[in-house]
Amino acid sequence: MKKFLIHNKSLNGKTKVLGDKSISHRAIMFGALAEGVTTISGFLKGEDCISTIQCFKQLGINIVEENNIIKVYGNGLYGLKKPKETLYVGNSGTTIRLICGILAAQNFSSTITGDSSIIKRPMKRIIEPLKLMGANIESDEGYAPLNIFGKNLSNIQYNMPIASAQVKSAILLASLYANGKTTIIEKFKSRDHSEIMLKYFGANISINKNVIESNSINKLVAQNINICGDISSACFIIVGALITKNSHIIIENVGINPTRTGFLDILLKMGANIKFLNVRYISGEKVCDIEVKSSKLKACNIYGHIIPLMIDEIPLFALVASLADGTSIVKDATELKYKESNRIKTISTELNKIGANITETDDGMIIEGNKTFFASECESYNDHRIAMCIAIASLVCKEPIVLNNYKCINISFPNFFDILERLGE
């Protein structure tokens, strides 16, 4: 339980957010499969990314930290070793889904599972395409734990039924081992960190709009990776500045990969005062400093192609829309039901407790705006993004909100409260 001391505050000053979670996971994985030593700066030391490190250590990879630099001593595509125990991913859906694409092609069997949240999250979405490639994966009726019996894989052409970077990445990792060319066709483009980083490591990948072609290769080559700040984490601080009076902040060195900035595009459409400064590229990723000032926002409807580009930020959108002028509608967001919690239900329930008026629908929400938030006792559902949404909502409450099980925030943003307190001074 945490009673927020940070309430009824404005935010001012400069800050940085920790390294991008998606890129941190991939840097460890691709470094482990590469030949040579991959060095990683800006790595996110959140619980999810630590789970990825632990799994690859169990697979025989030497990973050390020296002066805040992570060094991954890669053993090559075929250099992993059979784990002595079950691989445990904790709360990390990225770890379990991506690593299956690698384990499916090894010359050993393995078992992988996670915490009480992971074993409720659907795994058929990766099992089905990997089985089409020849993988042998046993599951508990489509859920973890997964028993994976490594074998030779074949190339496929796969039309993505859902927009999912995790599913796409699992197939891409498996394609490194499959004979010939694997083709992935996306209806809506999902985040493309895997494509960018695999190219950076020397994979044979070509991209033409929503069609990705990946050829099997003999090796990946170790690289130096500088990880930018996580846009999904930055969005919580951005919203905090937008919804509070007399706020003015700059968040430095934030990744603005176009497949991750859907929420920022929507905020600009809603009237947000956001500027992108010093735009540049680092380790293949687009990066900038983001300036934010208090703003009066108006309602906006979101659906279709924009949804996968802001899937992690939709709970934040519900928060913003509750304070904006007018009524907002979210459609095509069924995927939210399969995150760490059913985020359609959990964010609606908790924001309604503090004064919002959100109606759940089968694939989204109807959100009435111009609401005033008040203090209440809220739950996190052990979901880091729901917990952070409630913490940001507390900034516009006259009295402090009480949030139970707030420590789940450490999964993705360990210094979240430190930043809020510093900017709130």
List the domain boundaries for the chain: 2-19+228-424, 21-226
For domain 2-19+228-424, say whether CATH 3.65.10.10 is its number: yes
Work out the mean pLDDT of the chain and round it to a whole number: 96
Residue 4: predicted pLDDT: 57
Question: Once rounded to an integer, what is the mean pLDDT over residues 392-403?
Answer: 92
Cβ atoms within 10 Å of 81's Cβ, excluding its own: 12
- Dihedral angle sign, alpha carbons of residues 244, 249, 252, 255: positive
Tell me how far apart the alpha carbons of residues 188 and 2 are, in angstroms, rounded to a whole number: 39
**Which of 73, 76, 32, 81 lies closest to 52 in space, CA to CA?**
32
Q: Are 310 and 297 in contact (CB under 8 A)?
A: no
Residue 1 pLDDT grade (very low, low, confident, very high; cuts 50, 70, 90): low
Active-site residue, 312 included? yes
The pLDDT > 90 percentage for the chain reads 94
pTM for the whole structure = 0.92
Is-same-fold flag (2-19+228-424; 21-226)? yes
**Among 312, 325, 362, 418, the one annotated catalytic:** 312
Question: What is residue 8's predicted lDDT score, i.e. its pLDDT?
Answer: 77
- Find the helix or strand (DSSP H, E) in which 220 lies: strand 220-221
Using alpha carbons, list the distances in angstroms from residue 372 to 66, 176, 318, 322: 48, 52, 14, 8
What's the CATH class of domain 21-226? alpha beta
Q: Match 């075929």 to its residue by tokens.
A: 78
